[in-house]
Amino acid sequence: MKLDKGFYILLTATIVAGVLVMLQSGLAHTLQIAVGAAGLFGILLPKIGAGVFIAATIPVLVPRERIAALIGRESGVKGLATATLAGAVLPGGPSMAYPLTASLLASGADLGAGLAFVSGWSLLNLNRTLIWELSFLPPQFVGLRILVSLLLPLAIGWAARAFMARA
């Protein structure tokens, strides 16, 4: 298992936060937080594992050339729109979206499509819109939010492609 610099930064921040909580609130409260965090870890680990497993199957099931044609550098606006739509309809949370994005990037998608995918998932997620937003917010509000957000994933993907072309 490879541990990168980001892991060590997160580990250091976690230890510092734990020590600060212990100094401020005592050992009992710190242990209570640690037990709660361990429970959350136990809940999230299978979801993250499933997301990583599903993402790992993409290069095996879909040829690199097919992914590159659909959402690679040469796929144009159609590729960005495809990535945005795929992100928007993807069910699940970050444990599914981020491993899938990493897998797509490793399998032929370009950075612009990857960013359009994540932005589409983040801004236009159909699951969140139907279950949460329309349950609590007026339809006009939700509609305006979607309308305002609709072109952002395409613009982000296009900007990334333009930036990478210059780099």
Task: For 5-34, give one letter per residue: b (16+ CB within 10 A) or e.
Answer: eeeeeeeeeeeeeeeebeeeeeeeebeeee
pLDDT at 96: 87
First and final CA of the chain: distance in angstroms? Answer: 32
10: phi then psi, degrees, rounded to nearest 5: -65, -40
What is the spatial distance between Cα 143 and Cα 149, in angstroms, rounded to a whole number? 10
Geometric angle at alpha carbon 148, from 143 and 154, rounded to 5°: 120
Q: Beta-carbon neighbour count of residue 155 at 10 Å?
A: 13
Question: What tens digit of pLDDT does each residue of 123-144 get?
Answer: 999 999 999 999 999 999 999 9
Question: What tens digit of pLDDT does each residue of 6-49 get?
Answer: 889 999 999 999 999 999 999 999 999 999 999 999 998 888 88
Mean pLDDT, rounded, for 58-62: 85
**73: CB partners within 8 A, 6+ apart:** 110, 112, 161
Answer yes or no: is pLDDT of 167 > 90.
no
Confidence of residue 60 (pLDDT cuts 50, 70, 90): confident
Please check whether residue 29 is in contact with residue 21, taking contact to mean a CB–CB distance below 8 angstroms: yes
What is the spatial distance between Cα 114 and Cα 110, in angstroms, rounded to a whole number? 6
Q: The pTM is what?
A: 0.78
